Chains A and B, each alone.
Chain A
């Protein structure tokens, strides 16, 4: 199943990743509850503030998830960046992946990346790449 994302949202994710580089960036792209299109970017603070790790601040995370629920929105994509490697899930990404219902959008800001934006599902420790459909 492809990730459907608005071009403007994807551009915001890329801008967020470039702004935070070389620290890993992270956040959510919300869709409406009924729709499938990732539309609204919610940048999150990387509590780890690391070039090789990211972690949502747990209090911010609860607030954001509650506000999504109040707005009838869904965490369609969870994004983060790799700043010195390809946009492919790391072992930590797979171990932590606790949202089988979400797309895992990874952006690489590494200067040697061949493919800077990729999306995956991570289910039971298995990584499944999916296509990205960009909508105007």
Chain B
């Protein structure tokens, strides 16, 4: 079993238009590194200076990883990773 990743419209040009892709890893950081191998360029949109990029929210199942262990949040097969662009502005 792998980890399913839900990709927002903004990043689908990097995933060949796919909304759902799958990857693997034991933490969010590992999953993102594996995603980067599959879809080069995606990591820079998700991570900045070893932190979740301020322009996106990343959730493991229901939980925003900023309120867990950030990129070190553990994941296991069967979990889902959802990426949503943050909605913010001035």
What A residues does B55 contact at CB under 8 A? Answer: 95-96, 98
What B residues does A99 contact at CB under 8 A? Answer: 8-10, 85, 87
Number of residues on chain A facing chain B (CB within 8 A):
29
B64:A96 contact, CB within 8 angstroms? no
**Interface range on chain B (Cβ under 8 Å from partner):** 10 to 19
A78:B87 contact, CB within 8 angstroms? yes
A96:B57 contact, CB within 8 angstroms? no
What B residues does A98 contact at CB under 8 A? Answer: 8, 10, 55-56, 85-87
Q: Which of B10, B62, B82 contacts A100 (CB 8 A)?
A: B10
A62:B88 contact, CB within 8 angstroms? no
A52 at the interface (CB under 8 A from B): yes
B89:A96 contact, CB within 8 angstroms? yes
Selected A-B contacts with CB under 8 Å, 23 pairs: A54-B90, A55-B86, A56-B86, A58-B59, A58-B64, A58-B84, A59-B62, A59-B64, A61-B84, A62-B84, A82-B90, A89-B89, A90-B90, A92-B90, A95-B89, A96-B87, A96-B89, A98-B55, A98-B56, A98-B85, A98-B87, A100-B9, A101-B9
